[in-house]
A and B are shown apart, each in its own frame.
Chain A
């Protein structure tokens, strides 16, 4: 059974860097698959932050591109998200998900809440 588990600080100060990891179990992160980070601000809809292919190629939401880095660590079978210069607008539940094909995200982590506040 494929499982994803996000982890990271629940509170980040403004202007600092948000760092999250997503541990993947039951499936090799090196498989022919895309992986995505999606976030959901309180009371709002879903927003794709970016995706990464097993080869390491990435695509980021244009409005976040200058602040985002998504990477994979094949030795630990996990992916990571870094978002720099955060503001209150980055407060959200952050999810990682497996994209089996064409944006169909069939397995999601439970999500982790990140609050940006001093």
Chain B
């Protein structure tokens, strides 16, 4: 059982928008704005897509957007494209151990 809860899979057609949720607790997602999202293609290292809930690193498409409400963070992908098919992981710091990072179980995004 992962520390953060994500849906196992989400799918959408090209051009559509999808949202992936990441549910934690008041001891991690709910208390910190240090939520990150990663994209991982098969056989590749994870890539940082969103940090501090809603910030995009340089070079990441504006089609990726992050938000948070209470204990749940979300990643929305607008204008879904074939190359967005990957596994997405959320992460957060934990109140009891600020230097320790917890991950969600990952969400497989399928472009139909």
Query: Are chains A and B native binding partners rather than an unrelated pairing?
Result: yes
Rounded to whole angstroms, the CA-CA distance of A34 and B93 in the bound complex is: 13
Q: Evaluate contact between B97 and A45: CB separation under 8 angstroms.
A: no
Q: Evaluate contact between B34 and A102: CB separation under 8 angstroms.
A: yes
Chain B residue contacts of A110, Cβ below 8 A: 45
In the complex, whether B83 has a CB less than 8 A from a CB of chain A is no
Q: Evaluate contact between B45 and A108: CB separation under 8 angstroms.
A: yes
Other-chain contact of A102, B47, B51, B105 (Cβ < 8 Å) = B51
Min distance, Cβ B57 to any Cβ of chain A, angstroms: 6
Q: How large is the interface on A (under 10, 10 to 19, 20 to 34, 35 or more residues)?
A: 20 to 34
Which candidate, A18-26, A46-54, A74-82, A84-92, is the interface stretch facing chain B? A46-54
Chain B residue contacts of A95, Cβ below 8 A: 45-46
In the complex, whether B89 has a CB less than 8 A from a CB of chain A is yes
State the majority secondary structure of interface residues on A.
strand
Rounded to whole angstroms, the CA-CA distance of A57 and B100 in the bound complex is: 12
Q: Evaluate contact between B103 and A105: CB separation under 8 angstroms.
A: no
In the complex, whether B32 has a CB less than 8 A from a CB of chain A is yes
Other-chain contact of B93, A53, A102, A106 (Cβ < 8 Å) = A102
Rounded to whole angstroms, the CA-CA distance of A3 and B90 in the bound complex is: 23
Closest B residue to A102 using CB positions: B34
Closest B residue to A46 using CB positions: B103
Chain A residue contacts of B24, Cβ below 8 A: none
Q: Evaluate contact between A104 and B34: CB separation under 8 angstroms.
A: yes
Within A47-78, the residues touching B (CB, 8 Å) are 47-48, 50-51, 53, 57-61
Q: Evaluate contact between A59 and B45: CB separation under 8 angstroms.
A: no
Centre residue among B51, B99, B103, B106 by max chain A CB count within 10 A? B99
Q: Evaluate contact between A46 and B46: CB separation under 8 angstroms.
A: yes
> Which B positions have Cβ atoms within 8 angstroms of A?
2, 32-34, 36, 38, 45-48, 51-52, 57, 89, 91-93, 97, 99-106
10 A-B pairs (CB sep. < 8 Å) = A45-B104, A46-B106, A51-B101, A59-B99, A61-B100, A102-B34, A102-B93, A103-B92, A105-B101, A106-B57
